[in-house]
Amino acid sequence: MIAGDTVRSRRRRALLLLLAPVTLLLGVFFLVPLGIMVVYSVLEPGLYGGVEWTWYPFNYGRILGWPLNDYEEFDPIYLSIFLGSLKIACLTVLFSLLICYPAAFWVSRMGERRKNFVLFLITLPFFANLLVRIYAWLLLLRPTGFINTLLQGLGLIAQPLDMLFTSFAVVLGMVYIFTPFMFLPIYANVEKLDYSLVRASQDLGATPLQTFLRVILPLTAPGIVGGSIIVFIPALGNFIVPAFLGGSKVQMTGNLIERSFLQSRDWPFGAALALLIMASVVLVLMIQLTRAARTQTKGAV
Amino acid sequence: MFRGFKTFRLWPTLFNAYGFLFLAFLYLPLGLILLYSFNANPINMAVWTGFTLDWYATIFGGAGVKGSFDAAFTEAPERIFAVVKNSFLVAVSAATISTVIGTVTAIALARYRFVGKRFYQALLILPMLVPDIVLGIALLVFFVGAGFQLSLLTIIIGHVTFLSSYVFVVVSTRLAGMDTTLEQASADLGAGPLTTFRRVTLPQIMPGVVGGFLLAFIISLDDVVITYFIAGVGSQTLPLFILAMMRRGLRPQITALAVLIILFSFVVATVGLLLRNRKP
Amino acid sequence: MGFLQIASAHKAYHTPEGAQVRALDDVTIDVRNNEFLTLLGPSGCGKTTLLKCIAGFEDLDGGDLLLEGRSLKGVPAHRRPFNTVFQNYALFPHMTIAQNIGYGLDVAGVRKPERDRRVGEALEMVGLSGFDSRRPAQLSGGQQQRVALARSLVLKPRVLLLDEPLSALDRKMRETMQIELKNLQHSVGITFIFVTHDQEEALAMSDRIAVLSNGRLQQIGRSTEVYDTPANEFVANFVGTSNLFTGRVTERNDRLLTIETANGRRLAARSDGFAVGDGVTLVLRPEHLRIAEPGEGGAGCTIEGTVKDAVFVGSIVHVHVDVGFGRTAILHHRHERAGASAAVAPGASVRIAYSPESVHLIAAAGG
């Protein structure tokens, strides 16, 4: 019995003890590294790797158009690769959405046991190694792969189709990899959908299309938005999928970053590219957060 | 029944057909790997020339490699065992450490009220939202700058930074479903905070803790991108090893290895998912 | 020196909106040894907060708790010789019944043979012998309740704290448990502090009742005291049903007072301690009111009215009488078979009569 040692002060000490590990971990190995990267992105690249400690905004200049002309030129290829990555990420989101949305309805109308089993089946491939899943598509898509061999065997084509090393292959590979990410948030929303509202809409004379557009779609929108965001983020920064399924023909920002770090050893440039990706991610999250906040206040009124 | 569209008799059938296509899309590529891994054809896996277990045998060193062409593409069993050992060492260590940190943090955020709670909640979600490549290079820059030798240790640290968040989320869900009066009851019956944690809280959240551990274990075991940047010479993990093999060309040995990896991951994931779904 | 003294306890909460709520406002209670004390009040009155502070789950902001003169400040819950029976029982779902009951002994380091013996005794005491190896989920609500009781009592606490433990039971079960709890308290000879919002439950079980409202102690006393002589209008309304009339003493004749209300109604009451000019509130219990026979009744001891409703509840009829000026009086009329209730049919004009001795007078607030 220590006098003055109240429930509150004891709990405060326990709390500090419990929060210490995560504070240290994320402080030292997460926030500090991200901070260093921000700093590096505005430093001059060293001659043989590393950095010179001088203010140097031209890493961004090389990408966005204000290079230091003595040394390097503005090369629109960087910007076009960045925009191309955005496009591929958006297409990935769009196609995963298109295949997952109906599937969510398919699962939601099942009986309890079957539903759990199918949910398990849909989640499971997520746990298979990323490389192995890409490997499967290499075996399917390459000139001597399963699809070409099959089509040639059936006499449908004479020459193998060039499916590998195309944007199509990259988008397909990413849709395949991120399907569980898109499916689960949508499913969580579709599952909660109150079908009496659908019946009410029909009862009030709406056609199935009207019911879908004006009742079902708005009610499942949060799942669509959530799924889209968590597919968009890893798709935008991906470099493994384009490295194998895009080859040298379809490059994404991730491949540029990888090369500037591990080959040309131009760290500041790579950091600048990485921060552009981060900026896009933050932008998307901010839009979503303000949108969510707005719907919440609207709901409160 | 898709009750909203009950009048259309066509809908249920179409939906089922679509659902099976969806599952086929998910599983046929994996099934193809399985099939190819038994194909004896060493040159083109798409042309079936007979059943063989040789490719599995080469992984375990049970069969010699015929011809110098294949030998150039085949890894010795010792190399494979070395990287598998590395991978398990990393995955077990990273999963253990992140399970401790994630659980402890989940308890702090679930059971205490304090200023800055929202900050911690956001901070813990962040590592899951930052693209892998960004986290990977940030850690690389940090480790090199801070004078760390890139090794298995840096890989473990790197994994723990984002795996803790996954464990945190899983355990938090479990804690949210737990009756807090149980902890009060334990204190009331004379148990100190540590006894209460060990005998009441921990047994209650155990499925979440084990589930979180397995999730962290499997993600660590599978991680390519972050490991790719922070692995040093001599600290190759299995995914990096496969990455290197795939860059050299697609050989049947990779196919057989891929099947083993898929099977192992599926078993661990199944146990994890079963535990997570068990009601508190 | 008291047994357990709650000395001007204060406790405030901050709502998420930033407002401050006084959960306990200068509450002082001397809890006696071996008594059955009930903390009674509506939800949010502070009774559960007080219980949690006694148990040690929360700190008081001000004031103190003294057990036999020694302050409990800084003594954590697990070191206080008190045990709690929780509203939801809080039985550990991952332990058997025997493990649940033996938990406290085990934690205290009691050896297994001794522990098993005492667990066995506790199970027998609550009539659950043979349930040792079951899990809480396999038991009914009433059985879980008994396990929770046994789990606390096996530790022989100085005080047993009960947080609305009967609220989750159905009516029949609740009535059985009320009697059992009361008998149990007598046989174990431990102080029980029982929290409830149910005034009937409080009256049925308690040695003493402490009525709380808005964090303040309204009245403390034996059940009959609280019921017969409520300290204020809140207690009069909360404990039992009351008909209240507020007015001013206009005449005093020996001990018979005449009170005139603002509406000019003149009512008689017999009481000491009030003088002409005092503001008072009359408390008339429904069971002290009756329908007057035609021609009966002294001046001042009757109220004219019209029957609004007659609610038959079994042995009695609750008669709601409109007594004018927007007021309704409730009286309990004994139910008789065969048409006698025609007198209390809605619409009938009636005179309500009472004896001046049955009136309890409260000094009106600010009067």
* pLDDT tens by residue, C102-148: 999 999 999 999 999 999 999 998 889 999 999 999 999 889 999 99
- In chain A, the residue whose alpha carbon lies closest to the alpha carbon of C77 is A7
DSSP string, A14-69: HHHHHHHHHHHHHIIIIIHHHHHHHHHTTEEEPBTBSEEEEE-THHHHHHHT---T
Q: Where do the domains of chain B lie? A: 3-65, 77-277
Mean pLDDT computed over A264-276: 90
- Selected residue with higher pLDDT from C271 and B206: B206
Looking at residue B96, what is its pLDDT?
97
CB pair distance less than 8 Å for B142 and A129: no
Lowest average pLDDT, out of B110-119, C86-95, C290-299, C328-337, goes to C290-299
What angle is formed at CA A140 by the lines to CA A136 and CA A143, rounded to 5 degrees? 130
Q: Which residues of A touch B255 (CB under 8 A)?
A: 135, 139
- Report helix angle B10-36 to A130-141, nearest 10: 90
Q: How confident is the model at residue A300 (pLDDT cuts 50, 70, 90)?
A: very low
State the DSSP string of C122-167: HHHHTT-TT-TT--GGGS-HHHHHHHHHHHHHTT--SEEEEESTTT
What pLDDT is stored for residue C208 in this prediction? 95
Percent of chain A at pLDDT > 70 equals 94
Domains in chain C, please, with CATH? Answer: 4-237 (3.40.50.300), 241-363 (2.40.50.100)
User: Is a pLDDT exceeding 90 seen at residue C333?
Assistant: no
Percent of chain C with pLDDT over 70: 95
Q: Do C107 and B204 touch (CB under 8 A)?
A: no
What's B77-277's CATH class?
A: mainly alpha
Can you read off the two tokens belonging to residue B135? 């986290």
- Residue A1 scores a pLDDT above 50: no
Chain A residues in contact with C65 (beta carbon < 8 A): none
The chain C residues in contact with chain A (CB within 8 A) are 56-59, 73-77, 79
The interaxial angle of helices B202-222 and B152-176, nearest 10 deg, is 140
Q: According to the model, what pLDDT value does residue B279 have? A: 53
Q: What are the extents of the domains in chain A?
A: 1-40, 76-265
Amino acid at position B88, single letter: F
pLDDT in tens, C241-252: 888 888 888 888
How high is the pLDDT of residue A3?
44
Is C340 part of the contact surface with chain B (CB cutoff 8 Å)? no
Give one word for B116, left, alpha or beta, with left for phi > 0 and alpha for psi -120 to 50. left
Q: pLDDT tens for residues C213-243? A: 999 999 999 999 999 999 999 999 999 888 8
Chains in contact with C, where contact means 3 or more Cβ–Cβ distances below 8 Å, are A, B
pTM, 2 dp: 0.83
State the CB neighbour count (10 A cutoff) for residue C316. Answer: 15
Of residues A10 and A185, which shows the higher confidence score? Answer: A185
- What pLDDT, in 10s, does the model give residues B6-26? 455 677 888 899 999 999 999
pLDDT (0 to 100) of residue B79: 87
* Contact indicator for B266, B65 with CB cutoff of 8 Å: no
Residue C86 to residue B192, Cβ atoms within 8 A: no
Write the residue in A1, A2, A8 that is nearest to C59 by C-beta: A8
Listed as ranges, residues in chain B with pLDDT below 70 are 1-9, 62-73, 276-280
pLDDT (average), residues A171-188: 94
pLDDT (0 to 100) of residue A52: 84
Beta-bridge mates of residue A52: A44
Would the pLDDT of C182 be above 70?
yes
Which DSSP letter does residue C229 get?
A: S
Is residue A73 predicted with pLDDT exceeding 70? no
- Residue A164: pLDDT above 80? yes
Average pLDDT, chain A: 87
Q: What is the pLDDT of residue A297?
A: 62
C79/chain A closest Cα distance in angstroms: 9
Spatial CB neighbours of C111, under 8 Å, sequence gap ≥ 6: none
Residues of A in contact with C75 (CB under 8 A): 1
What's the order of all strands across the beta sheet hosting C82-85?
A: C82-85, C159-163, C191-196, C36-40, C208-213, C216-222
Contacts of B153 (CB under 8 A, 6+ apart): none
Would you say C108 and B190 are in contact if contact means Cβ atoms under 8 Å apart?
Answer: yes
Mean pLDDT of C77-106: 92
Which pLDDT value is given to residue C306?
A: 85
As a whole number of angstroms, the distance between CA C62 and CA C160 comes to: 23
For chain A, the maximum distance between any two Cα atoms, rounded to a whole number of angstroms, is 90
ipTM: 0.88
Distance CA C274, CA C247 (A): 12
Q: Is the dihedral of CA B140, B141, B144, B147 positive or negative?
A: negative
- For residue B225, what are the contacts with CB-CB under 8 A and spacing of at least 6? A239, A240, B132, B133, B136
Contact A7/C57, CB-based, under 8 Å?
A: yes
Q: Which tens digits make up the pLDDT trace of C40-71? A: 999 888 999 999 999 998 889 999 999 999 99
Number of C-beta neighbours around residue B20 at 10 A: 11
What integer pLDDT is reported at residue B278 of this predicted model? 64
3-state secondary structure of C40: strand
Best residue of B179, B180, B189, B209 to probe chain C, by most C CBs closer than 10 Å:
B189
Calculate Rg over the CA atoms of chain B: 24
Q: Is the pLDDT of residue A301 over 50?
A: no
Q: Cα–Cα distance between B119 and C117 in angstroms, integer?
A: 51
* C100 lies within 8 A of chain B by CB: no
Task: Provide the pLDDT confidence category of residue C367 given band limits of 50, 70 and 90.
Answer: very low
pLDDT of res. B277: 66
Q: What is the CATH number of domain A76-265?
A: 1.10.3720.10
Which residues in chain A touch residue C74, judged by CB atoms under 8 angstroms apart? 1-6
Dump strand ranges (E) for chain C: 4-14, 20-31, 36-40, 62-67, 70-71, 82-85, 159-163, 191-196, 208-213, 216-222, 243-253, 256-261, 266-270, 279-284, 290-291, 302-312, 316-322, 328-334, 349-353, 360-363
pLDDT digits (tens, 9 = 90+) for B125-173: 999 999 999 999 999 999 998 999 999 999 999 999 999 999 999 999 9
- Average pLDDT of the residues of chain C: 88
Q: 8-37 in A: which are within 8 Å (CB) of C?
A: 8, 10
Question: What does the block give as tokens for B28?
Answer: 């046929």
Between β-strands C216-222 and C159-163, what pairing exists: parallel, antiparallel or unpaired? unpaired
Mean pLDDT of A89-114: 93
